[in-house]
Chains A and B, each alone.
Chain A
Amino acid sequence: MTITISHLLVVSIVLLASGLYCVITRKNAVALLMGIELILNAANLNLVAFSRFVTGDIDGQVFALFGILLAAAETVVALAIVLQVFRAFDTVDVDRTDKLRG
Chain B
Amino acid sequence: MKVPLLSAMVFWAFAILAMASAVFVAFSRNIVHAAFALLGCFFGVAGLYLFLSADFVGIIQVMVYVGGVLILFLFAVMLTGKIRNPEKSNPSRAIPGGLVTMLVTLGLFGYLAFTTPWQVLPTVPTGPTTSQIGDALLGPYILPFEVASVLLLAALLGGVLLAGGVRGRSRLTGNEQDEAPRDSGGNT
Contact = CB atoms under 8 A, between A and B. Distances in A.
Bound pair (A, B): yes
Interface of A: 1-11, 13-22, 24-31, 33-35, 37-38, 41, 44-45, 48-49, 51-56, 58-59, 61-62, 64-66, 68-77, 79-84, 86-87, 90-93, 95
Contacts, number: 247
A59 B114 CA distance: 24
A52 B95 CA distance: 37
A22 B21 CA distance: 13
Given A17-B109, A56-B125, A84-B163, 4 more contacts: A62-B133, A76-B72, A77-B155, A87-B181
Secondary structure at chain A's binding surface: helix, strand, loop or mixed? helix
A24 B105 contact: no
B17 to A, nearest CB: 10
Interface of B: 4-5, 7-8, 11, 15, 18-19, 22-23, 25-27, 31, 34-35, 38, 41-42, 45, 48-49, 51-54, 56-57, 60-61, 64-65, 68-69, 72-73, 75-77, 79-80, 82, 89-95, 97-99, 101-103, 105-106, 109-110, 113-114, 118-121, 124-125, 129, 132-133, 136-137, 141, 144, 148, 151-152, 154-156, 158-159, 162-163, 165, 181-182, 184
